[in-house]
Amino acid sequence: MPHSARSSTTSPTVRLDWRPSRLLVALLAVLMVAAACAPWLSSLPSAVALAASAAAFAHGAVLVRREARRPRFELVWPPGDVPARLVQGDVGVPVEIEALRIQAGVAILRLRHADGHRRSLLWWPDTLGAAGRRALRLAWAGARAPEAVRAPPGAPAADQPAIRQTR
């Protein structure tokens, strides 16, 4: 067919910004207030309820501040066997993508750094839209595809010898 469109067997490089979720920060703040109110709703003596409430509020404030101040970075995930990188400023750290899970609008990406330590990235619905989740799914499917599927048309797969035709 002379007018058929050619489809690409490789996916484009995925570039996703990671930033702290305002939704998560707001939920942590609500939990902080609820935890600070809980001792007053129990039968604890006033002095103990005051101390527990102050401790819960202080710990919650630390968690809210820590989450809100996390540094932003970019995930760069090229197709093929090139490792993904976490880029912050001018520094890019290579990582191995171990798993992807998307559930209820939250994308969880499990990574392993070159030194062996593991990390999880969470994108909440307010930080990663449907198009970004789709790009992650496609990159993950492309990374897990067998070599025969990822090879360009007409090229032999890496684990298969080239087939020669004899006349």
Instruction: Quickly count: other Cβ atoms within 10 Å of residue 8's Cβ.
Output: 9
Tens digit of pLDDT for each residue in 91-132? 889 999 899 999 988 999 999 988 889 999 999 999 999 999
Percent of the chain exceeding pLDDT 90 equals 56
Q: At what angle do helices 22-37 and 46-68 cross, to 10 degrees?
A: 170
Q: Output phi, psi for 148, to 5 deg.
A: -60, -30
Identity of the amino acid at 154: G
The three-class DSSP label of residue 151 is coil
| Token output for 154 | 């007409």
Is 88 a residue whose pLDDT tops 60? yes
| Token output for 67 | 């989450």
- DSSP 8-state code for residue 102: E
Going by DSSP bridges, is the β-strand pair 14-18/73-77 parallel, antiparallel, or unpaired?
A: antiparallel
Boundaries of every domain in the chain: 14-150
Q: Rounded to two decimals, what is the model's pTM? A: 0.71
Concatenate the DSSP letters of all residues of 62-99 into one string.
HHHHHHHTPPPEEEEE-STTSPEEEEETTEEEEEEEEE
| Token output for 159 | 């684990």
